């Protein structure tokens, strides 16, 4: 059996930030945001070289533990190729540990880089999503990063005909939706945030969330006037209050002012969904020491882009 060749030129990938859960859509709903990490990789002589600039440059590992590299290694294994030496350059704009999908962007970038470096390799969308989900642990952020727009992702039930494969669809977001992200000064690990969640919830709360998640799909795509009602959550946000009290205080205050605000992913950032007729006033709402930014919805997911000169 002839092994595939690696391409000689570097491959450059741009991967967007994402906000998951969006209130009621725990581990299933995601929104791709136009804030990007850019990663370049080429096959090197044996060994590994990693350069990091921007977000995380002082804390991210520069060895095989780096998430981009781990995703590349997993993809090479999936493709049945030998593991090459690599030169990887990361220019990160997505904040680390803030609930904006930095790990998903790294994973997706790694998968696309490895695919691009193997001559003739073509991963199906479901293969990329399944690989990314296996590395991330849940499909919401990676689906939004891969596909762009507003995504609905799901895992198979035990009796599902597609058992073992993550699935997702992407929907176009209504042009009036104007997301704003509020960034606290300190990160919070996803493991800590998820560790606060209970093992079970009441049937009533589950029913409320399922109804609001369905409404959110309509609100984001057709009826932005329903965003406040559509972002009610009973499954995860309140349980995380002990680890991010200032985050939930900001969510509470925004919602009391009829702004559709939620914890972004596992937090501690806040996502507020304004509209063209009712934009979110950053100067009014941004707490001292926080940062805020209006971000467009990323219509397209991660992909290869021309290598900079």
Give 49-85 pLDDT, tens digit per residue.
999 999 999 999 999 999 999 999 999 999 999 999 9
Q: Which fold has domain 177-294?
A: Alpha-Beta Plaits (3.30.70)
- Tens of pLDDT, residue by residue over 215-228, are 999 999 999 999 99
Chain centroid to CA 152:
12
What digits encode the pLDDT tens for the residues 97-108? Answer: 999 999 999 999
Delimit the CATH 3.30.70.890 region(s) of the chain: 177-294
**pLDDT of 48 higher than 50:** yes
Token pair of 85 as six digits: 């030496």
Say which CATH topology domain 11-171+298-304 has: Ribosomal Protein S5; domain 2 (3.30.230)
State the chain's mean pLDDT as an integer.
95
pTM: 0.95
pLDDT (tens digit per residue) in 250-290: 999 999 999 999 999 999 999 999 999 999 999 999 999 99
* pLDDT value, residue 1: 40
């Amino acid at each position: 059996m002839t092994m595939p060749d690696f391409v000689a030129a570097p491959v450059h990938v741009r991967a967007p930030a994402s906000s998951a859960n969006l209130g009621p859509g725990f581990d299933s709903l995601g929104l791709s945001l136009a804030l990007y990490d850019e990663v370049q990789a080429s096959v090197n002589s044996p060994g590994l070289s990693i350069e990091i600039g921007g977000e995380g440059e002082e804390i991210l590992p520069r060895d095989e533990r780096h998430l981009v590299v781990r995703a590349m290694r997993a993809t090479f294994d999936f493709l049945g190729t030998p593991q090459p030496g690599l030169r990887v350059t990361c220019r990160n704009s997505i904040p680390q540990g803030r609930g904006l999908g930095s790990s998903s962007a790294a994973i997706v970038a790694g998968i696309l880089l490895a695919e691009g470096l193997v001559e003739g390799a073509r991963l199906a969308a479901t293969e990329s999503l399944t690989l990314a989900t296996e590395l991330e642990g849940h499909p919401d952020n990676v689906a939004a990063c891969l596909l762009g727009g507003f995504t609905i992702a799901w895992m198979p039930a035990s009796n599902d005909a597609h058992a073992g494969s993550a699935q997702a669809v992407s929907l176009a977001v209504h042009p009036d939706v104007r997301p704003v992200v509020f960034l606290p000064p300190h990160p919070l690990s996803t493991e800590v945030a998820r560790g606060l969640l209970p093992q079970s919830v009441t049937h009533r709360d589950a029913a409320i969330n399922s109804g609001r998640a369905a409404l959110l799909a309509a609100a984001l795509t057709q009826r932005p006037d329903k965003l406040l009602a559509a972002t009610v959550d009973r499954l995860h946000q309140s349980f995380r209050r002990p680890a991010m009290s200032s985050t939930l205080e900001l969510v509470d205050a925004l919602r009391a002012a009829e702004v559709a605000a939620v914890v972004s992913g596992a937090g501690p950032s806040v996502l507020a969904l304004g509209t063209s007729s009712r934009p979110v006033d950053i100067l009014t709402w941004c707490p001292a020491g926080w940062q805020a930014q209006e971000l467009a919805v990323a219509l397209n997911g991660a992909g290869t882009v021309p290598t900079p000169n």
